[in-house]
Amino acid sequence: MSKLKAIIFDMDGTLADTEDIHRQAFNAAFIEFHIDYQWNRAEYKELLSISGGNERIRQYLLDHDLISDKTVDIATLARTIHTRKSEIYRQKLIDGHLVLRPGVHRLIHEAKDQGIKIGIATSSSRQNLETLLKLTLGNDGLDLFETIVTCDDVENKKPSPAVYHYALNELGLDPDNCIAVEDTHNGNMAAMATGINTIITTHQFTTDDNFAGASLVVDQLGEPDQKFKILAGKSHGHHYVDVNLLRKVLTHRNEQQENKISNPAFAAE
C-alpha cells in the first residue's frame, strides 16, 4: 500500500490566484514595446494552453503578424518582451496585496507537522517564485519546501513531465508516494505522465479545462469553515482538502489498480 510522503504544488493559479496579474503584466509590456494589442480574459484563457510566457508571446506574434518590421527576429523579441513582462509582474506582486488561495497555507503546515515533504514544480521562473513565496509565506517561506523546480532547472515545460521527474529525483520518492496539486490541463498531464495522482483546484481561467484522470477536481482546497465545490472525482466524505483526504485518494487509487490487475474485465473497461 502506497504511503503519502510528499505533496508537490504548482505555483501560478495553484498557490495563489496570479494568472490575471500575469495577463495585466503582459499587456503592460506590450504597450512599452508599442505592440498594439491587449489580451482580454477570454483570449488569455485560451493562451494558457501554451506553457511559458516567452513561448506564449512568441507564438502569438507569429500567429497574428503583429510586427510590421520583417527584419525583426521574433524569438529574440519575445524573450526581450518576456523579460520586461516578468519585471512588471514581480512589481505588481510587491505593490498588491497577494494572498495564498484558500487552504494552501493550512495544508502546507499540516503536512510539515506530519512529516510529509513539500515541493513545488512550476513552469514559472525561480525569481518569480521566490517573490511570491516571500510575499505570502515570509522570508523563511522557501525553507518550507524540500524541492523547488522551475523553468530555470528544466528546458521542457508542462505538459512535458520533465519538471515532475526532476522533483521526484530531488525528493528521492516514487510517484505513487506523492500527490500533485495543479490548476491546468497541462499541469495535470505533466503530473500524470510521471504516475503522480493529481488534485485540481480550478479558477476563472481553467474551469472548462479537461482534467480527465485527476483524482479530484474542486474549485479550491477549502477550509474547515469554507467548503470546496466538487467538480469531478471523489471527496471521500471530506469538505476541504487535508492530509487525511490525500491519504484516502492514494488508497482509492491503489484499490483501483489492484482491481485492474485481479479483474481483467475491469481493466478492459
Q: Tell me how far the alpha carbon of residue 202 is from its chain's centroid.
A: 10
57-62 long-range contacts, CB within 8 A, separation 24+:
57/26, 57/81, 57/82, 57/85, 61/35
Coil, strand, or helix at residue 236?
Answer: coil
Rg (CA), the chain: 19
C-alpha distances in Å from residue 52, one per residue of 56, 86, 239: 6, 11, 33
- Rounded to whole angstroms, the Cα distance separating 23 from 70 reads 26
Coil, strand, or helix at residue 247?
Answer: helix
- Rounded to whole angstroms, the Cα distance separating 183 from 206 reads 7
User: Annotated active-site positions, please?
Assistant: 10, 12
Coil, strand, or helix at residue 265?
Answer: helix
